[in-house]
A and B are shown apart, each in its own frame.
Chain A
Amino acid sequence: MMEPGLYHMLFISATLFFIGVYGFFTRRNLVTMLMSVELVLNSVNLNFIAFNKYLWYDKMDGLFFTIFVIAIAAAEAAVAIAIIINLYRSHNSIDVENAEELKY
């Protein structure tokens, strides 16, 4: 096994990204879909940190990006959950397949 480096980080983050994407595609429960999104955002954070650490260590752009992304993720999750709860109230379900009245 090699000494961990940039590419390892990128591999992890990319894999995590697409695991999240896969989850987003296949999960029928809205909350779990939201969880998948969190995975995706985390993978991106890892990317930024890795680039910052290994390549562009003279500034902290990547780091700040990560901080703000975390903040945004929180806000997004909050609003999403509020919407999901509201949806649950009207549909009595949070199965995404039950919310497809709007189509075609």
Chain B
Amino acid sequence: MPNEFFILMKPELVLTGIIFLLLFIKLGKGLKNDTLLLLIQVLLLLNFIGGFFFNKEGVLFDGMYQTSALIALQKNILSLAVYLISLLFADWFKKQEHMPEFFVLMLSAMLGMFFLISSGNLLMFFLALELATIPVAAMANFDLDKKRSSEAAMKMILSSAFSSGILLFGISLVYGSTGSISFAELPGLLNGSPLQILALVFLFSAFAFKLSIVPFHLWTADVYEGSPMATTAFLSVISKGAVAFIFMATLYKVFQPMHEVWYNMVMILSIATMVIGNLFALRQQNIKRFLAFSSIAQVGFILVGLSSNSIEGTTSVVYFILIYVFSNLAAFGVAAAIASNTGKENIDDYKGLYRTNPFLSWVLALALFSLAGIPPTAGFFGKLFLLTAGASKGSFLFITIAALNMIISLYYYLRVIRAVFMDQNDEPIEKIRIEPSAKFALMICGAGIILVGLLSWIYDYIQNLV
């Protein structure tokens, strides 16, 4: 038992270790930011690499905690993302007085997500979700002297408290009608009665809130825009990824008896999410807000794949999120590099960027193409497989609407491309000095964007784990 305990909970334990290490360092006040950041980066890299080894399938704490190869992979995707974040926003991190605290918060949230993915009952699920949320609200407020940052944090904490209330109400109804909070027992107890549908809707809305599914998405853009870039990236990539994983697991496993209900729910909300996300993204000027709405639309796509309720669905969602990590982080990384050097966050400021910063421009272009689903970037494969998985249910109208939404999304991605490559500007952003670590991370992202799609074994690898 003890050995198994350490092996199975390895990711969480490692993360906890890092958190405490950071706290001790902070208390000791021994290290400069640069050194510390390097240390953190190394630790996170080790965490990521370590994630590949000693993975075992198993259950702990009477089913409260479960893990499997797929879950390990999902956690590792998140680890990778966190590692990339630590590289990409190095410039910003170094300027922070409270950098260790930021990482403590971020890694706590990560820990919450790990528990979330591994959670085996509704209580663990709820606690992990809160652990994954509350520190992020604090992270959102990290630009302490910016009004927008506080506003964003306020919106986040209040909205999420509200959504927690709804979620809890839903959980209580599930509990009341079945008497169980265990994921393993619930499928046998759910029967699709109206009250359970009501409970499902309440639960669903909480997931939807975290995933920014329309109409529960409204906090997203404001929080993304106001928060520091690193927080935004964390929210949009890691938080979303983790919730998508557990959402999928919950729907596929726990609510399998009610799959007809949630299939339709997912379909309707998917369409609404794509359409609304796209329509809002059309007219955004701020790059973070723009990426916020774009990520909302992306979630709409994830839902398409998710709706398939099949192995292909799981695989394609995990695959897509892997790709999404690379693409979105690359976009945020470029935006961060520009913002931290010039303070410019508007798309119009990007005009003529290519003339002065070709590297950033190409990475941004790759990232946006990948988000738009243009070959040969991985985003193409990701989206296509999501659609293919979704199409297996045979709803042509749904798939057609989804496919047509790709056009709108292409339009606004091209708007950025156009600003970067085509528009004339007498005063383009000057040549930016990119942190070496950020440059390295951008290269990783770029390579990921290209290779994850073309190398088909990655997809097969995921499929084998499912």
Q: Which residues of A contact B (CB under 8 A)?
A: 10, 17, 20-21, 24, 30, 33-34, 37, 40-41, 43-44, 47-48, 50-51, 55-56, 59, 61-62, 64-65, 68-69, 72, 75-76, 79-80, 82-84, 86-87, 89-91, 96, 99-104
Contact = CB atoms under 8 A, between A and B. Distances in A.
Interface stretch (B49-57, B220-228, B333-341): B220-228
Contact of B153 (A47, A68, A83, A104): A83
B134 A87 contact: no
A101 B152 CA distance: 10
A55 B176 contact: yes
Contacts of B146: 90
A83 B141 contact: yes
Contact of B150 (A40, A75, A76, A87): A87
Nearest to A50: B176
B169 A91 contact: no
A79 B40 CA distance: 25
Contacts of A104: 283
B215 to A, nearest CB: 15
B145 interface: yes
Interface of B: 123, 126-127, 130, 134, 137-138, 141, 144-148, 150-155, 157-158, 161-162, 164-165, 168-169, 171-173, 175-176, 179-181, 221-223, 225-226, 283
B181 A68 contact: no
Given A56-B175, A76-B134, A102-B226, A86 B150 contact: yes
Question: What is the interface of chain B mostly: helix, strand, loop, or mixed?
Answer: helix
A61 B162 CA distance: 23
A99 B153 CA distance: 11
Nearest to B150: A87
A37 B138 contact: no
Contact of B165 (A40, A83, A86): A40
A99 B154 contact: yes
Contact of B134 (A20, A51, A75, A84): A75
20 contacts: A10-B176, A17-B169, A34-B158, A40-B169, A44-B168, A62-B172, A68-B126, A72-B127, A76-B134, A79-B157, A80-B137, A80-B161, A83-B141, A86-B144, A96-B154, A99-B151, A101-B226, A102-B225, A103-B222, A104-B283
